[in-house]
Amino acid sequence: MKTLILIDVQNDFMPGGSLEVPHGNRIVPVINQIQSYFDLVVATQDWHPKNHKSFASNHNGKKPFDSIVLNGVQQTLWPDHCVRGSSGAELHKDIESNRIAAIFRKGMEPEVDSYSGFYDNNHQLSTGLSGYLKEKGASEIHFCGLAADICIYFTILDSILEGFSATLIEDASRPLYSDKFGDIKCELAKLGVRIINSIDLQPK
Ligand code: VGL
Ligand code: ZN
């Protein structure tokens, strides 16, 4: 089962959203074009309660992009984003959703952030994505979405730990910080991750 995972293609990560990824909207037509090349399409959604501790607004005297230690782990504080049920948390309205077989929500526990679609940042809570993919017989997992250097990066690291082979579709993703993304791509390539563009994919 050739598998595509859409990571956090949500309004708050799009230009004009509260945590916008530069040119994040440009991936939408690319993602729509490639969905039919895959046997299984799955999505993740950042889905925070309003009192989530990754929000600077929930810490006195802190501002977005400050760094703190939260329950023993380093945590960047973000602007409020992807509050569950809000329009900012919805998938981009132009993302074709008919082929999405399941959506895995993450970041629902207020005390811990969850960049990966598999586990929270302390590696304690599972979303069930790994078991789902294994039961479905998913192979050759391809990743796209936002942000390439944060949630996609950590999801790919976990996918390798879970024994999957991972491919990043670069033109169907965008990083939040493009200056550090070169190093991240090098690290992923060293771990055996394939980094391709949508043109390299075989239409079915
Ligand atoms: C993300 C920061 C905070 C992401 C989610 O989807 O990359 N980044 N929450
Ligand atoms: Zn988040």
Q: Answer whether CATH 3.40.50.850 is correct for domain 3-49+83-200.
A: yes
**Separation of alpha carbons 50 and 43, rounded Å:** 22
- Residue of 8, 57, 143 best suited for mutating to test ligand 1, as the one with most atoms within 8 Å of CB: 8
pLDDT at 203: 87
Mean pLDDT of 166-195: 98
Instruction: Compute and round to an integer the Cα radius of gyration of the chain.
Output: 16
Q: What is the mean pLDDT of residues 123-149?
A: 97
SS3 81: coil
Reported confidence tier of residue 83, pLDDT bands at 50, 70, 90: very high
pLDDT recorded at residue 71: 87
Q: Is 89 in the pocket of ligand 1 (CB under 6 A)?
A: no
Question: Is residue 204 over pLDDT 90?
Answer: no
The whole-model pTM stands at 0.97
Res 38: pLDDT? 98
* Residues 6 or more apart in contact with residue 16 via CB below 8 angstroms: none
Report the pLDDT averaged over residues 180-196.
98
Task: Please name the residue that has the structure tokens 């997992």.
Answer: 141
Q: What is the pLDDT of residues 86-132, one digit of tens each?
A: 999 999 999 999 999 999 999 999 999 999 999 999 999 999 999 99
Instruction: Please measure the distance between the N-terminal and C-terminal CA atoms of the chain and give it in whole angstroms.
Output: 12
Q: pLDDT for 2-41, tens place per residue?
A: 999 999 999 999 999 999 999 999 999 999 999 999 999 9
**Domain residue ranges of the chain, discontinuous segments joined by +:** 3-49+83-200
Q: Name every residue whose Cβ is closer than 8 Å to that of residue 183 and which is 6 or more positions away in sequence.
A: none
What does the alpha-carbon distance between residue 23 and residue 181 come to, in Å, rounded to a whole number?
15
> What are the tokens at 86?
């809000």
Cβ count near 190 (within 10 Å): 8
Determine which one of 82, 144, 151, 158 is catalytic.
151
pLDDT > 90? residue 42: yes
Cα–Cα distance between 154 and 53 in angstroms, integer?
19
Q: Are 154 and 6 in contact (CB under 8 A)?
A: no
Q: How far is the CA of 120 from the centre of ligand 1 (A)?
A: 12
